[in-house]
Amino acid sequence: MTSGSPHQRSSAREAALARAVKDGLLGPQVPLVGLLDVDGVLAAVEALNEAFEGPAVVQHTFAVKACGLVPVLRLLAEAGMGCEVASPGELEQALAAGFTYDRLVFDSPAKTVEELEFALAHGIAINLDNFQEMARVDGLLTGREASGPIGLRVNPQVGAGAIGAMSTATATSKFGVALRDAGAVEAVIEAFARRPWLNRLHAHVGSQGCPLPLIAHGVRAAYELAERINTELGRAQITGLDIGGGLPVNFDSEDDRPTYADYVAELRAAAPGLFDGRYALITEFGRSLLAKSGTIGSIVEYTKSAGGRRIAVTHAGAQVATRTVFMPDAWPLRVGVFDAAGRPKQGPTEVVDIAGPCCFAGDLTATGRELPAVEPGDVVALYDTGAYYFSSHFSYNSLPRSAVYGYQTDSGGQVAFALVREAQSVRGVVEESGLSQVDALVALRSGNAVEQPKEMAE
């Protein structure tokens, strides 16, 4: 059974939850788990590739920030994806997963000299964020040729979507060169004229909450600037356009909307020449490739009432669903209720809040939802959590990271699991919190300084 359609994905998820309970991956002793539908992920990659078929050379890269788990990255590498990284940690995760240097794109607004040198030395594609960073590269390239593509990120300043924090093309965005600021376009053209090694433009409008016409408007601005630069310089200096990612995800239902095909249709209408083959295209999708294939399962520990409202206390809260808890209107999640055997619950419904384990009142993953009656020992499932929720752990209350498993279902509904990340032990939490330096501050206060680790001393 593949998970290419919403119905197939839903059926596979139910089978995986039931099997996870049966196998003890989720239960009273293991009250929290992440599950990732491998077939669903691969179906999303296939849909992305199909949407962009045509004369243009396209390199699709996965934005590691959406799920920096090495086995997941390895799966995407084997599926032919490239990888977009925005920190040294993400870079090392991508390399550990098997991505070669020529399949990497390094984005970050705060690259250090050492990071730039590493990327330049290994031919990793770089998107520069500003003119000061460009000046650094001038110095690093003195006396040698660039060994990989180098682009400049521009901010088309086309406005914000519904979620301001996810919109990167506002008038005052921290990213890229703001094109509508006085003299900016002329400065960009001059920068390309003086640097033959600059051969890409990069623009990214935003992600969740950004409608397709807004995204297409930003891409068109970058395309038109590339056309102008190449025309004024009299040469095809810009050979690649990195158009970012940002396809919004539908968190309201099982349906995949908008689709990659919808996105490409919007781009073709806004900038037809984008796809004629003169420019290599680079994409950086993340959330849209994984979100629908992920589920967080949690045991219901207690149920109670307060002010006439039913509350189910689970083990999934702000530590795994940080954005949902702190911005519930922007990041709502669908919720499913299953019995202690992992079977979907039926019967009369009740209005209930789904609470997490964190010690603050706002730790709610869903509020006022009409769901089948929830009881202690039931399983609550948070859907569409394949991106960010597994890998962006919030260490509030020193809660440990849960295990994550990938799964596949066969034509008979049988489920096979593969461990993606082991559950963090409580001991591991303590060790991360400075256990090996337990006496450091006491010794400092008493005048008996503890020897610093070698790397700190240096």
User: Where in the sequence numbering do the catalytic residues fall?
Assistant: 359
H or E stretch including 299? strand 294-306
What is the 8-class DSSP label of residue 417? E
Q: CA 129, CA 151: separation in Å to the nearest integer?
A: 9
Token couple for 319? 């530590």
Q: Which residues contact 122 (CB under 8 A, 6 or more apart)?
A: 101, 147, 148
Q: CA 274, CA 97: separation in Å to the nearest integer?
A: 31
295: β partners = 35, 383
For 208-222, the DSSP string reads: TT--HHHHHHHHHHH
Q: Which residues contact 400 (CB under 8 A, 6 or more apart)?
A: 423, 424, 425, 426, 428, 429
203 by DSSP, 3-state: which? coil
What is the 8-class DSSP label of residue 113? H
Q: Which residues contact 221 (CB under 8 A, 6 or more apart)?
A: 154, 156, 158, 179, 203
Q: CA 271, CA 236: separation in Å to the nearest integer?
A: 18
Q: Are 292 and 48 in contact (CB under 8 A)?
A: no
Q: CA 94, CA 113: separation in Å to the nearest integer?
A: 20
Q: Are 71 and 93 in contact (CB under 8 A)?
A: no
